[in-house]
Amino acid sequence: MQNKKISIFTKEYWKSQWKNALINASVYIGIFIIFALIDLLTKRNYYIPADYRDSEAIYSFGQPGAHAFLWYRTVFHAGTTLELGLGNVGLHIISFIIIFATFIGSLFFKNHWYIFVVAGLAVTAAGSLGNMYDRFQFQGVRDIIYFPWIDKGTFNFADSFLICGGIGTIISAIIIGLCFHNKQNKSKEEQLANDKNIDSENTFDSTK
């Protein structure tokens, strides 16, 4: 007998799922705060305030070593890393939607394996908050990191959280979904095998 599906808009649903929702919310909020602080504190400590009014100014912290993977320099960026062509108001709206949607969505995962998806959503939202704060406060974004070996522009931790969090969320969801699919197929095969064994036993008993 199949379990009856309960609407998420009913008290019955939340009575049965409030623990999962609370765990997911706690994980989400904890990761969200940690990653948002990483972005905001690094920009506070490594960004040169004089750059706020000069989008062309680039200040580098010395010269990177020959084998340096990452290096620091400060750049004030009035646009977006992906050049979406939106103004600050449009970017604020998108950032708010990302934060709100990822938090609400994280409440509805029932299986504990989806905690990895919740983590990815929280990291993405933290990146969105980091850049949204900059745009509110400075009308632009403070970038502080670049790759010396492939200099294609300067970014910040918020940018990396947006990209890595989004990719991590998708990969986690796919892997977990495939695992559940394989598990369900295996259960169906085992059930069919058991049914065949029962039928064989019944047939054998009837011939006695």
**Token representation of residue 151:** 């200099």
Please report, as a single letter, which amino acid is at residue 82: L
pLDDT of residue 125 exceeding 90: yes
Mean pLDDT over all residues of the chain?
A: 82
**59 CB burial (10 A radius; 0-12, 13-18, 19+):** middle
pLDDT at 26: 97
Residue pLDDT, tens place only, 129-172? 999 999 998 888 888 888 877 767 788 999 999 999 999 999 99
pTM exceeds cut of 0.75: yes
Contact status, residue 164 vs residue 73, Cβ threshold 8 Å: no
pLDDT at 18: 87
Secondary element (H or E) of residue 141: strand 141-146
